[in-house]
Amino acid sequence: MFSGVEEFRRLEGQLFLVLARELEAGLSGLVRLCRGRRNGRVRAVVEQMRPKLAILRAAPFETMLDPEVTSGLRRFFEREVRASTRELGAVRVAIEKVTVVLRILDLRVSAIRGNLRPEGVTEYRRQLAEDLWTEPSEAAPAAGRETDWRALPPELHRAWLDRLRTEWSRLNWYYLGEALRPPAFELIDSRTELGRWNAEHRTIGLSGRLIVERAWNEVIEALKHEMAHQVVSELWLQPGASHDSAAFRSACERLRCDARATADPGKMVRLEDSEDPRDRVVAKIFKLLRLGASSNEHEAALAMERASALLARYNLDVSSLGTEKTYFRRLIGPILLRREEHHQVLGRILGEHFFVHVIWEISYLPLTAQGGTQLAIVGTRENLDVADYVHDFLTRTLEHLWQEHRSSPRFRGGRKAQYLAGVARGFLDKLHEQRQRLVTERALVFKSDGRLEAHIKHLYPRLSSSGSSGVARGDEYHAGVAKGREITLRMGVTERSGTHGGLLPGRPSGDGE
């Protein structure tokens, strides 16, 4: 309940002082972390601003607040965030924290000085909650430069070791029923080894280079391999068993990891040049999706419907003929610290309409030491290719539609999460209706893939389902639903240059487990 401008100023003033003190502490920590020229640049800015920060912190009234202090500092550190590279991961985390605090302070200064009216409080609160806490991303390494994991702070190394212990415990429970005793963990610096099991000292070592340069699921695969060696050594009492021994392959099977070498990049073939009939089906589907780039909405919608019908017919034909299918697992999309409703609905779209099984897996961001979740899809390689493309297309389309909606003259403020959830739901409803037409007009009968379900039970023997609360069904949600029903899948000039229409892995190597 809004109780007047004075009460608002009193409450915001208290929060403001807490944030101001946090800002000074963050800046001091940042100066200690920075090295070389960056240290000099950051120190110079902080020293120049320190007198104004003192005034800002002590200011009891809005007349003494100086917006240029927070705005200037905010712009400086936002530039630093953009300029920082992956090799400065720990510094980047500190800069991001300072930047977020400065964004909030900037809004509070503007709100307090602006003599906020009661009707403006809701919008002010929305601004604070939205577009401030973005997903932390791992910046790409500078061109031609390798990440030196040893130069990162010891605190980060300790966080990695703690996470590896947690992952080991989870895998030991999930696949082995806690049959193993916990080993010691260490980080190793090697260009030739991803991991190492030392039976004498009961130690598992993982490459620090692997952790900072590769995706977290690859770290987990390396950990599983070393756990397989531990199983052979301690449970089956064969400490000398080699990588190609039957015992090691059996242990890898228990842990659901591949005992073979990784895919050979030289065994890549162009999708359109492949002689495999499955690849030709996928190529035809993508060709139909390219027709979806037509400016004629009727032609675009017809192309999308034909692509969906071809995908459905292909999967039904394979099932009815009893053709042997090989299933793979693929991780798509970013690691999410917070999973919103539209992320969940995108997963439903893939699982219900694109012949893949969807699982949200636990993951980790090593350079920020934060846990999250990532979407995994399981199915045949050709279905993974289509589902991967659809997910990428819809993710970009949702963001584009939100920016378009936000810049519309009719926009009166609203929650992004509500709008995106509505768009995703509208497209899901459209796909439901399209499938019903296929059932009615083309006499297609959709049924589950029993072999895929059996494969899922093998990969995830303790898989459980969980629900989550959705966003409020307000005006933004319903506007999103209407817009989502207008989406047509298409593959135009913005298509990704990776798997689709480009190179596909050779058949033997696969996509994962």
pLDDT of residue 182: 96
Token pair of 307 as six digits: 């692509």
Q: Mean pLDDT across the stretch 393-405? A: 84
pLDDT of residue 208: 93
pLDDT of residue 380: 86
Torsion of CA 93, 99, 100, 104, to 10 degrees: 160
Going from the C-alpha of 300 to that of each of 312, 363, 497, the distances in angstroms are 18, 37, 22
CATH topology of domain 150-254: Zincin-like (3.30.2010)
| Cα–Cα distance, 354 to 434 (Å, whole number) | 13
Find, among 374, 112, 80, the residue nearest to 217 by Cα: 374
pLDDT of residue 28: 77
DSSP-based three-state secondary structure for 411: coil
Q: Tell me the per-residue pLDDT of 348-379, one tens digit each, with 9 for 90 and over.
A: 999 988 889 999 999 998 888 889 999 999 99
Angle at 345 between CA 343 and CA 349, to 5 degrees: 115
475 pLDDT higher than 80: no
Find, among 75, 47, 45, 69, the residue nearest to 57 by Cα: 69
Q: Tell me the per-residue pLDDT of 132-161, one tens digit each, with 9 for 90 and over.
A: 434 334 434 433 345 578 888 888 899 999
No. of helices (H) and no. of strands (E), the chain: 16, 8
> Could you tell me the pLDDT band of residue 501, with boundaries at 50, 70 and 90?
very low
| Cα–Cα distance, 164 to 157 (Å, whole number) | 11
Q: 60 or 487, which is more confident?
A: 487
pLDDT of residue 10: 58
DSSP letters along 352-366, please? HHSS-EEEEEEEEET
Q: Tell me the per-residue pLDDT of 310-327, one tens digit each, with 9 for 90 and over.
A: 666 656 554 544 556 788
- Which H or E run includes 328? strand 327-336
Domain parsing of the chain, residue ranges:
5-129, 150-254, 269-505
Angle at 455 between CA 453 and CA 459, to 5 degrees: 115
